[in-house]
Amino acid sequence: MAGLLVELVETVPGVRGDRVACAADGRWAAAERRLVVLDSGEPIAATVPLDGGLRFTAAGDALLAGTQRLELPARAWAAPPDPVPGVAPGAGPLEISAAAWDGAGHALLVAAQRALPPDGGGEPRPGPDAWLTLLDGRAGTALGQLWSGGAPGAPSVAVEDGVMAAALHGRACIWWAGEAHELEAWGIGVVALGDGGRLLAATASDGTVWLARGGAPPREAGEGSALVLAAAAAAPVVAWARGDEVVVLRAGATAALPVPGARAVALDPAGTRLIALDRDATLHVAAVRG
């Protein structure tokens, strides 16, 4: 029986972005704060900041960037309501620290914190300074507030098939079946959900990659060199950056693809295609086999 293989298919130079996504049919996209680039090479400017994650809908009819939705193939931005007022009504001006859509393009998980005055001063206000709220992204209405507390807000969030996760104050927090759990690991900066929300992946500031399935205790999966992590939405496959390579883990086996200084990675929903963007703005497309 052949082992796990990650085989380079092509490289695409000059791709702008700080995050990437891969669709079920192999299409890819990259994004930065006010721009997305599709695999046709077409750049599309955004009218608002794209603060948050990047993914295709499961149907492949839209690209979900931050809190926004780019309709495909029309290449037109939809006009969803501003989600910020629904995160913490009456809290005043907020800044989004992380956001992620589910694969259906309906649920939107938003982490936000109270915006500082321009001079950085001002009197402290009573109550929480940061919030994590699940919203109906199409309507902009809150479905439930998962957490509130002191700033800063969560730097990374994920949502998959009704499961939510967030990196909160160095801990990985996950909401399975309506119940909140915390991973027994510290220094968590990035979280990802895979396999229909049954698999939680997280990376810590010391480079440790953690995996947890269901309510089971987390286990160390390996070491990385950066907070660069991805999970396949519909399969138990995870990828992370380590030195000048990207490691893919599936069914207990690992394989690596040489990628100099990977700054963003993504997997297609089935975990059969890997996308990685390196420090020189070259996009690597690879097949995951075995």
Which DSSP string do the residues of 230-259 spell out, in sequence order? EE-TTSSEEEEEETTEEEEEETTEEEEEE-
Residue 17 lies in a domain: yes
Write out the residue range of the structural domain in which residue 59 sits: 1-69
Residue 20 lies in a domain: yes
| Consecutive H or E run containing 275 | strand 273-277
Q: What is the pLDDT of residue 120?
A: 53
Mean pLDDT, to the nearest integer, of 180-206?
94
Q: Which residue has the higher pLDDT, 248 or 118?
A: 248
Would the CA dihedral through 146, 189, 156, 24 be positive or negative? negative
Q: What is the pLDDT of residue 41?
A: 85
pLDDT of 216 strictly over 90: no
Name the percent of the chain lying above pLDDT 70. Answer: 96
Number of domains, the chain: 1
Residue 173 lies in a domain: no
Residue 128 lies in a domain: no
Q: What pTM was computed for the model?
A: 0.94
Residue 103 lies in a domain: no
Residue 3 lies in a domain: yes
Cis omega (within 30 of 0) on the bond before 152? yes
Q: Rounded to 10 degrees, what is the CA torsion of 94, 135, 126, 178? A: -140
Residue 272 lies in a domain: no
Q: What is the pLDDT of residue 1?
A: 39
pLDDT one-digit tens code per residue, 123-171: 666 679 999 999 999 999 999 999 999 999 999 999 999 999 999 999 9
pLDDT of 26 strictly over 60: yes
Summary mean pLDDT of the chain: 93
Residue 107 lies in a domain: no
